[in-house]
Structure 1
Amino acid sequence: MNRLNLFAPDVRENPYPFYATLRRESPVCQVDPNGMWVVTRYDDIVAALKNTQVFSSAGLRVASEPPHLQRHNPLSDSLILADPPRHSQLRNLIGRAFTATTVASLETRMRSTAARLADEMLQRRVVDFVPDFAHRAQANALVQLLGLDPSLQPNFQRWTTDILSVAAISPDDERRMQDVRRSIDEMEQYMNDLLASRRRQPGDDLVSGLLRSRVNDCALTDEDLMGFLFLLFVAGLETAVTLMTHMALILARLPGWMDRLRKELDLIPHFIEEVLRFEPPVHATMRLTLADTELSGVRLPAHAVVALLVGSALRDEAKFQDPDLFEPARRAQASLAFGHGAHACIGAFLARAQARVVLEELLSRCRRVELRAERLDWNVSLNTRCPLALPIEVIPA
């Protein structure tokens, strides 16, 4: 069988039939680009995520700082690229400040933003949901959470796109790498100024809380703080925007759900969990093997780059009945959508809260959402799968 190319247009448009074939025939195999290994079955992916001694996150730090970047990337200091015990130390310190209570205090402001953006969409009727709603909603949430300068919001998407693209840029593409360096420079300078400001005058925002955090007299270092701020900013924007975009796309493709959710409000959390299962915002998570190992009878060599295909695991027939059917009534907890075990996403409750608030505001104002494109163009990324644009018409209630 020929190698599957994960970036082929037909795979990006609908990867799930290809994943189903891999689960049946080659659950652990090599694919393109670059002959990387992929793992496709739910149980194998959970086993890999639990086995941090073999499937390393820290081993992938080199990908965030390729030689042609020619500078330090603060994202490489984040907990997403750390293994225990360092990962546990960072998570404990960050968890003292970044809690569900922190996010709950933002809900009123998130709801106000969602209501305003929904009203703006209704005035225009036909919009691109990605920049006109999803990006603006999450950028505003990050402004409120971190106490950022709202005037910088136009830079947020550029910073995120550039920093997430580091590993994919060819060494020969000097112009693109210059763009990335500039974005890292700008963001690092801004975050340094923000930290200095909060040290002089603490507030009730998350940055001030991180500076105050202590566990056994240990505090977060400047490198730890910068790494987490880069991670929260970049990953927080990307995953929440992807979740909201898929939620809107599903409402457009399955219009009956808007009426049903209005009548059965208690289904809203289950609807969000089913969106997370059906189209997870983290589509794949990467690991590096530190030793030879075996999954599903296949030998993986040491130092292999492995993509754990979460998007495949959450459609695994061995775990979910009729996995290609969107059915919130199944009440599945899509925990893998935000990682598992030690690397379960520390900001998952923020993404879920944002999705719930957005959905409630859309339901109260919109009768239905209609797709205004015959086909969608998809991003090219191993970690996420999201439409680059989502043209919709919003029909008022």
Structure 2
Amino acid sequence: MNLLAPDVRANPYPFYAGLRRHAPVSQVDPGGLWAVARYDDVMTVLKNPRLFSSEGIRRTYRPDWIPDYPMADSMLVMDPPRHTRLRSLVSRAFGATVLTRLEPRLRELSHRLIAALPDGQPVDFVEDFSIRVPISALGELVGIPPSLHAQLKHWAEVMTRFTSVGPADLEPQERIRASVAEARHHFEQVLEERRREPRDDLMSDLLSAHVDGEALTQTELMGFMFLLLIGGLETTVHLLSASVLKLQEDPALMARLRAEPELIPRFIDEMLRHSGPVHGIVRLTTDDVELGGAHVPRGERLLLLMASANRDEARFLEPDRFDLERAGSQQLPFGHGAHFCLGAQLARMEARLALEALLARFARLTPGDEPARWNISLVMRGPIWPPLAAHTD
């Protein structure tokens, strides 16, 4: 199976179900990755960083064509104790106060964006809505003015294609190198400005964070900035876009959420399970291992299919059914354990505020002339062109 094949990208869930039934741990294309499809096997990997290493995949972010990619110095590719130290430092700055500080600004922004959408005319919700909420949140977090938000979006879009670029893809390689250089230069400038004149933003908080007398190094700061740029933007964009499509496909659900907006957080949780943006997480085996009935040699890359685990029949009743009443919190939309996503609550808050604004104004959504297309990535999945018309009546 090729996980990047067009028919798989259009609807991967039947293919994931086939893997769970017949080959729960097996090699797939591209590149002979070992796909891990069942919930229990995914949890086994996530709970055992010594045998299934995050740091081991650092080489993935240091190909010959870009040896200085800051993502190779981020928490994403660290194991304890290095990961523990860095996460502790970042958590000092990236805590509950961030959400408290951002919420009123993002609520006002969400309502302003929704008010600007035309009534009854096709709209590119990705460009005019889904991207603008998290990109504004990111700009607020790192103290970058709205005039540069389009540049942030461009850098993130280019760099998210990193995992699908091969050794012979010279043009995409050059675009990624250019975006990395531009983003690095800009973040270095902003960090230097915050050292001289601290402000009420995340960059200033990161510079002042200390644990046991230790602060973040410049390399660690840059790694976190790139992780925040890519992970913090793409996750929420795809979650919001998929949520809008779901509301268009299910008018009764949209009507219920309009009547009972207190159910929006529950809707977001079920969206994260049923159609979540994170589809794959990579780990590297540090020894020969038996997993899901398969023998996986040392030094092999595992692709944990989070979206498959979240629809595992052994864990969820009728997993393919979207159920607003579904109880429990066993889904894995943001990882587990030491690598549970630091920005999970921020993503949920951004989605909640955006959907509250959307549902407060519009009563229904109708499709445009073109069907939705889906991005190409092993890690994230989301619609990139859902032309929908929103109606107030």
Q: Equivalent residue for 1:46?
A: 43
1:4-19 map, 5 Å: 4-19=1-16
Correspondence for 1:111: 107
Question: Deviation of residue 156 (structure 1)?
Answer: 1.9
Structure 1 match to 2:53: 56
User: How does 1:194-209 map onto structure 2 within 5 Å?
Assistant: 194-209=190-205
Residue pair 1:274, 1:334 contacting (<8 A) in 2 also:
no
Counterpart amino acid of residue 354 in structure 2: V
| Preserved CA contact (<8 Å) 1:276 1:334 | no
| Aligned pairs for 1:213-224 within 5 A | 213-224=209-220
- Aligned mates of 1:357, 1:167 — CA distance in 2: 31
Q: Which residue of 2 aligns with 1:249?
A: 245
Unaligned runs of 5+ in 2: none
Instruction: Quote the offset at 1:338 in angstroms.
Output: 0.5
Aligned residues: 393
- Do structure 1's residue 27 and structure 2's residue 27 form an aligned pair? no
Q: Assess if the C-alpha contact under 8 Å between 1:65 and 1:166 holds in 2.
A: no
**1:337 is paired with a residue of what secondary structure?**
coil
> How much does 1:35 deviate?
1.8
Match status 1:237 vs 2:233: yes
CA distance in 2, matches of 1:115, 1:78: 34
Residue in 2 aligned with 1:271?
267
Equivalent residue number for residue 339 of structure 1: 335
Q: Deviations over 1:97-143 (max 9, x none)?
A: 10122112111111111111111113573111111111111111111
Q: Which of 95, 101, 119 is the equivalent residue of 2:97?
A: 101
Q: TM-score, normalised by structure 2?
A: 0.97
Deviates more, 1:145-154 or 1:303-312: 145-154
RMSD of Structure 2 on Structure 1 (CA):
1.3
The CA distance in 2 between the partners of 1:108 and 1:346, in whole Å, is 21
Superposed, 1:1-397 pairs within 5 Å as: 4-69=1-66, 71-123=67-119, 125-333=121-329, 335-373=331-369, 375-397=371-393
CA–CA distance in structure 2, aligned partners of residues 173 and 36 of structure 1: 20
Could you tell me whether the CA contact under 8 Å between 2:35 and 2:305 is conserved in 1? yes
Contact persistence 2:134–2:233 (CA under 8 A): yes
* Counterpart secondary structure, 1:299: strand
Once residues 321 and 372 of structure 1 are traced to their aligned partners in structure 2, the CA distance between those partners, rounded to angstroms, is 34
The 1-side partners of 2:116 and 2:182 are apart by: 31
SS of structure 2 residue aligned to 1:194: helix
Give the superposition deviation at 1:374.
Answer: 5.1
Residues 327-364 of structure 1, C-alpha deviations (whole Å, 9 max, x = no match): 11113426510010110000001100001101111111
> Partners of 1:167 and 1:279 in 2: how far apart?
21
- State the alpha-carbon separation in 2 of the partners of residues 222 and 349 from structure 1: 26
> Percent of aligned positions with the same letter in both sequences?
45
Give the counterpart letter for 1:42 in structure 2.
Y
Q: Tell me how far 1:172 sits from its aligned partner.
A: 2.5
Q: Is the 8 A contact 1:377 1:388 kept in 2?
A: yes
Q: C-alpha offsets along residues 53-94 of structure 1, whole Å, 9 cap, x if unaligned?
A: 11111111111120022x411111110111111011010000
Whole-Å Cα distance in 2 between the matches of residues 322 and 373 of structure 1?
32
Could you tell me which amino acid in structure 2 is paired with residue 284 of structure 1? G
User: Which stretch has the larger CA shift, 96-105 or 349-358?
Assistant: 96-105
Once residues 321 and 355 of structure 1 are traced to their aligned partners in structure 2, the CA distance between those partners, rounded to angstroms, is 26
SS at match of 1:66: coil
**Does structure 2 conserve the Cα–Cα contact (< 8 Å) formed by 1:292 and 1:301?**
yes
How far off is 1:203 after superposition? 1.1
In 1, Cα distance between the equivalents of 2:56 and 2:182? 27
Once the two structures are overlaid, the 10-residue window that deviates more, 88-97 or 59-68, is: 59-68
Check conservation: 2:370, 2:387, Cα contact below 8 A.
Answer: no
Superposition TM-score, scaled by structure 1 size: 0.96
The answer (yes or no) to whether the contact 2:125–2:386 under 8 Å persists in 1 is: yes
Give distance in 1, aligned partners of 2:352 and 2:330.
15
Letter in 1 for 2:44: A
Contact 2:53 2:283 in 1 (8 A): yes
* 138-147 vs 331-340, which moves further: 331-340
Aligned equivalents of 2:2 and 2:163: distance in 1? 18
Show structure 1 runs of 5+ residues with no match.
none
